[in-house]
Amino acid sequence: AFTTMRARGAQVTDIAVLVVAADDGIMPQTVEAINHAKAAGVSIIVAINKMDKEGANPERVKEQLTEYELVPEEWGGDTPCIPVSAHTKQGIDDLLEMILLTADMMELKANPDRAAKGTVIEARLDKGMGPVATVLVQNGTLHAGDTIVAGTTVGRVRSMMDDRGRRVKEAGPSVPVEITGLGDVPVGGDIFNAVSDERLARELVEQRINERKEEQFNSQTKVTLDNLFEQMKEGDMKELKIIVKADVQGSVEAVRQSLEKLSNDEVRVHIIHGAVGAISESDVMLANASNAIIVGFNVRPDPVAEENAKRDGVDMRLYRIIYDCIEEIESAMKGMLAPKYREVALGRAECRETYKISNVGMVIGGHVTSGKITRNAQVRVVRDGIIVADDKVASLRRFKDDVREVAEGYDCGITLEKFSDIKQGDILEAYEMEEYRE
């Protein structure tokens, strides 16, 4: 939920203040925030916090920032870095002054005397209050009692609460408030407008419904390796954006460097995010918003990420060998991507316990959590989002009986052909390979 909010927040932000601890330096969450802000084209000010602590090292933080193309102003770049301490209040005035200066340079202006307009940040259905939306007013002033259109829903603002939980009667530019009174729950990211009467509101809703239909019809084709060459030929593709996820940092850097070398006169390969760990919902969100593909090296997507990628048409490519990754993307850029095999998921099982039986070896006491597990199926062993083995089901049992398959919700005994270092909690992903042609 936090990463979702951060990604959505970047889309409605003019200036992002990136807070980095002077003693800890840049953390994985910081990298994610940087990439969301950059993808949204937001100006970044860095607040180097905890300057009052022993071990504070602002120079190390500045050095780390350069790895993500954020070069401090004092080093000849354009990223303001302000040393602060939330505890002692050191540098807070300097930070506020820098925010105002940046806003002035960007000519950020709003008119508080017009009808309100802004963005829905988050919305939910409350049992007692009905639809509740957190909105950010970006222009004008929103008043209690105003008729508003949020996305494709209409309502009259019944109540407004500020960020401290206090009831307020109005909210001006840059003020977030929680409102009630909408007829339905809007979608996060929807634009809202205050209108003079309900008739105008209904007309605006009708117009937005038609616009959404048109947008869906004319929506930009998602980039995939299969359509990359066609998009390049038609001049629609000048930059191939890629998100890289891998099992270790060394692999992230190796894949990043190898892919960036594929850039040519027609298309620049741009790695917009690289990190260690399983492919997450946040990665898919970033890829969807940026029209990027996701490359996974020795990692798997979590179930929510996999489902969202299918829904949003985000292309995810998973590899075990770096050369295969480079060769496939290079071939796609040259329009020579050959017909391939694709993976068809069969099911997932969780290792609940293990038994060592003489003349048999390691037996997995498993529970099928989705789909089915079949005898002779290919199977991946996944531990904490990292692939630890790729093997084949050697035998499958229900109690003492050999069986061909075990369905979702049932327990079973599984032995693998080669891998025996199975741990309790490991996930077994069964799949088969299917040949296909575009």
For residue 270, give every residue at least 6 positions away whose Cβ sits within 8 Å of its Cβ, in sequence order, or none: 239, 240, 241, 242, 260
Torsion angle, CA of 370/371/375/381, rounded to 10 degrees?
Answer: -40
Domains of the chain, residue spans: 2-105, 117-218, 228-338, 343-436
pLDDT digit string, tens, across residues 43-77: 899 999 999 998 899 999 999 999 988 999 999 99
* CA nearest neighbour of 25 among 54, 62, 53, 67: 62
- CATH class of the 228-338 domain in this structure: alpha beta
Token pair 């209409």 in the structure block, residue: 154
Q: Where are the alpha helices (DSSP H) in 82-173?
A: 92-105
Distance CA 151, CA 402 (A): 56
At 169 the pLDDT is 95
Written as one string, the DSSP assignment of 20-52 is EETTT---HHHHHHHHHHHHTT-EEEEEEE-TT
Mean pLDDT, all residues of the chain: 87
Of 42-46, 131-135, 359-363, 429-433, the one with minimum mean pLDDT is 359-363
Tell me the CATH architecture of domain 343-436: Beta Barrel (2.40)
What average pLDDT does this structure show over 158-171?
A: 93
Question: Tokens in use for 275?
Answer: 């990190």
Tell me the sheet residues that pair with 155: 148, 182
What average pLDDT does this structure show over 86-92?
A: 94
Question: Tokens in use for 171?
Answer: 């909210």
pLDDT digit string, tens, across residues 309-357: 998 889 999 999 888 888 888 887 776 555 567 889 999 999 999 998 8
2-105 matches 343-436 in fold = no
Please state which CATH number belongs to domain 117-218: 2.40.30.10
The β-bridge relationship of strands 81-83 and 43-49 is: parallel
**Segment holding 340, helix H or strand E:** strand 340-357
Tell me the sheet residues that pair with 364: 354, 414
Q: What percent of the chain has pLDDT over 70?
A: 90
Distance CA 108, CA 290 (A): 24
Q: Angle CA(355)–CA(359)–CA(361) in degrees, nearest 5?
A: 35
Q: Answer yes or no: is pLDDT of 132 > 90.
A: yes
419: exposed, middle or buried (Cβ count in 10 Å: 0-12, 13-18, 19+): middle
At 121 the pLDDT is 87
Asked: is 2-105 a CATH 3.40.50.300 domain? The reply is yes
At 221 the pLDDT is 59
Token pair 């630890």 in the structure block, residue: 388
The rounded radius of gyration (Å) of the Cα atoms in the chain is 26
Question: Tokens in use for 294?
Answer: 């996701």
At 331 the pLDDT is 81
Cβ neighbours of 304 (radius 10 Å): 11
Are 189 and 120 within 8 A, CB to CB?
A: yes
